[in-house]
């Protein structure tokens, strides 16, 4: 994975394009399957991608209302780093005889997910498939080559269907947690995605109304 991640080091900002592309694929899958099984849309008809930035916590969250993954699919798709796409990508990397490859290459092998680790110390994927009644959380830290999977128990994080991916940005990449930066990246790289993409900045609570000491309110 390090080889993959560092081969893209030159153009870190591609991470957003890759993650939005995965979200778009998940929405495509749902849209296609729902043609013959409209039940798949029962938990929510909207097919969209939402990107939330939180500059206070240095995180970016990408939420899609796509098909989502069951626990097994989570293990198969994210758990097995040595996926076939990875092997093919590494082979192409070696054949390219260059240290940094054209950043479009990674997307062709379905390993764009790893580009999240270009800018993140930790990646958390919380996902709910219509095929399972539970939501599962896959979590991995950049330094460790391991991951954990558990049930989502935080009720605030429950989604009706799809995948919620949270990037805990590296110290030097906190700049990506600014909405204007994300909006520019979406315009540059993801303008042809066939689903609506919404961005919003997680607001800390701002005190809109200053209330004097309630005792005085009488």
Residues that bind ligand NEI (CB under 6 A): 22-23, 26, 64, 66-69, 77-78, 83, 85-86, 110-111, 113, 163
Least distance (Å) from ligand NEI to the CB of residue 86? Answer: 6
Name the minimum Å distance from CB 165 to ligand NEI.
Answer: 6
Give me 189's structure tokens.
Answer: 């790289």
Q: Which residues on neighbouring strands pair with residue 151, listed in sequence order? A: 136
- Name which of 53 and 65 has its Cβ closer to ligand NEI: 65
- Which helix (H) or strand (E) segment holds residue 18: the answer is helix 14-36
Nearer CB in complex with ligand NEI: 23/177: 23
Based on CB atoms, which residue is closest to ligand NEI, 109 or 176? 109
Does residue 110 contact residue 167 with C-beta atoms inside 8 Å?
Answer: no
Give least dist CB 20 to ligand NEI, A: 9
Q: Which tokens sit at 195?
A: 């689903």
29 or 174, CB closer to ligand NEI? 29
Across the beta sheet with 147-151, the strand order is 147-151, 135-141, 120-128, 162-169, 59-64, 49-54, 197-201
């Amino acid at each position: 994975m390090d080889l993959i991640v560092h081969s893209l080091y030159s153009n870190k900002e591609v991470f957003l394009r890759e993650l939005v592309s995965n979200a778009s694929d998940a929405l495509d899958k749902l849209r296609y399957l729902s043609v013959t099984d409209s039940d798949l849309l029962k938990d929510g008809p909207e097919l969209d991608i939402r990107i939330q930035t939180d500059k206070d916590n240095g995180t970016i969250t990408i939420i899609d209302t796509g098909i989502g993954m069951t626990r097994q699919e989570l293990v198969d798709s994210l758990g097995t780093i040595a996926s076939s796409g990875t092997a093919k990508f590494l082979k192409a990397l070696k054949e390219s005889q260059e240290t940094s490859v054209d950043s479009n290459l990674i997307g062709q092998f379905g390993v764009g997910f790893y580009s999240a680790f270009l800018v993140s110390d930790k990646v958390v994927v919380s996902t709910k498939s219509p095929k399972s009644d539970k939501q599962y959380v896959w979590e991995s830290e950049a330094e460790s080559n391991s991951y954990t999977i558990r049930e989502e128990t935080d009720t605030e994080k429950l989604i009706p269907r799809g995948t919620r991916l949270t990037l805990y940005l590296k110290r030097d990449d906190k700049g990506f947690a600014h909405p204007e930066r994300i909006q520019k990246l979406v315009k540059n790289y993801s303008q042809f995605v066939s689903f609506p993409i919404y961005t919003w900045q997680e607001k800390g609570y701002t005190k809109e109304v200053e209330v004097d000491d309630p005792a005085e309110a009488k």
